[in-house]
Amino acid sequence: MILFLILALLGHAAAQSVDPPVSKIEAIVELPKEKPYVGEPLRLILRSAIHAQVATERIYQPELTDFDWQQFGVDTFSNEFIDGFWMPVLTRVLMIYPLRPGQLTINSFKRHITYYAFDGARTEIKLVSKPISIDVISREAIADQGNFWIPAKSLRISDQWEPEPDKIRFGETAKRILTVEAEGLTADRLPNLPNFRAPGIITFAGPIERQTIITDQGPVGRARYQWHVRPVGMTAATAPSISLKWFDISARVMREAVTPERQVAFSQNKKVEQRSKNGLVTDLFSSSSLYAYLLAFAFSCAIWVMINKSNSFKTHGWRYLMQKAQLFLLLLIKALQNKTDDFYFILMKLRALDKPFHHRILAECNLTQELTKLEHSLFGPNNQRESYSLAPLAFKLISTAVIYKR
């Protein structure tokens, strides 16, 4: 009996050294309650465990030819109680995005392991997961193929202005930052928003900042879109709303995120009003340029020519003509002093005084391009602004206005 017991123990030990350890491997895809659409983010989880001391290992991933994919973080290890044993469990998470409709197959994952057997010998084992089949459908029924496809668990959009768009100081721009956050998508899958354009507004687009945030529930893609914005003139303009359509993968419906319309205008504070009322007297007596006064005298002599050449005097009378002459005189002085902000401010007042007349002047002497350069030098990004000479533009405007017969 003692000999039989010894032989049984030896046989059990030998069997333990020969039989492979308890192990398992499985790959699963978290699918929605309905069939997933092309491009919808799906989470693939690979889990593998072995009741042995692992020496080396290597995972062979199948070619995911029908999917875009991205590994979500790094492989993690944890101890779990499985089949009556505590085992180290390896977990790998992938985000996969189907590329086409139809029955798509994910082939087996393989894990090659070298472990220490009961007798201390190094032994190899290969674990193979079962293939996965996914039925994917086209998104044509719910979304236009021409639009950017944004399937996400949630989407948040925020619109920030600095300063407020209706309180822009003259000569400055407002910075608009639109932030989009999509849960379940990486940042590279968020769209490039087009530059928003509207009558009466000039915009300068800045770089797009993208960031992918890793969370326990999946990736969160964040994109920040930036513009420098200013109104063309002193009249308020409307910045249109920006809408972004996206697909709610939890509720399985299309949704739309919209930013409100905003009024864009220069701030009409008392300081600006006071400057427009007292600007002529202050600028005349503060100018230290004799050359500016000589040219201003020559310009005032040319006003008589303007009276005879233009029908504006007959239509509007002395008050209108002197108001225009005053603004032209200020325009010339500011040009010779090379004060770009004040020059542009006066130019906008001239436009507001007689829009049709000055639009025709700009068309006659082809000054649209010159004004565009001026606006870019004044309102463009700080690192791209260039110095601009105002005198040639002022003389061209004034001479054209004097000799132009309305």
Contact 180, 225 (CB under 8 A): yes
Contact 370, 195 (CB under 8 A): no
pLDDT tens, position by position, for the chain (406 residues)? Answer: 666 566 555 554 444 445 788 899 999 999 999 999 999 999 999 999 999 988 999 999 999 999 999 888 788 889 999 888 899 999 999 999 999 999 999 999 999 999 998 888 899 999 999 999 999 999 887 876 666 889 999 999 999 999 999 888 877 889 999 999 999 888 999 988 777 778 888 888 888 999 999 887 788 999 999 999 988 877 788 898 888 999 999 999 999 999 999 999 888 643 444 444 444 445 444 444 444 555 555 555 555 445 444 454 445 555 666 677 777 777 777 777 777 777 777 777 777 776 666 666 666 556 666 777 777 666 665 545 556 677 777 777 776 666 554 4
Give 28's strand partners.
Answer: 45
Task: Tell me the whole-structure pTM to 2 decimals.
Answer: 0.63
Q: How far apart are CA 276 and CA 270, in angstroms?
A: 10
Q: Return the SS3 of 216.
A: coil
Q: Of 113, 35, 38, whose CA–CA distance to 68 is shortest?
A: 38
Question: Both tokens of residue 337?
Answer: 């002093």
Question: pLDDT (tens digit, 9 = 90+) per residue, 203-233?
Answer: 888 889 999 998 877 889 999 999 999 888 7
What is the structure's pLDDT at 383?
47
Question: Both tokens of residue 181?
Answer: 């956050």
Q: Of 400, 397, 393, whose CA–CA distance to 310 is shortest?
A: 400
Task: Give the number of other CB atoms < 10 A from CB of residue 71.
Answer: 12
Contact 48, 90 (CB under 8 A): yes
Using the structure block, give the residue that is written with the tokens 């949704």.
255
What is the structure's pLDDT at 235?
78
- CA distance to 17, 266, 390, 394, per residue, from 335 (Å): 96, 22, 5, 6
Q: How far apart are CA 185 and CA 293, in angstroms?
A: 65
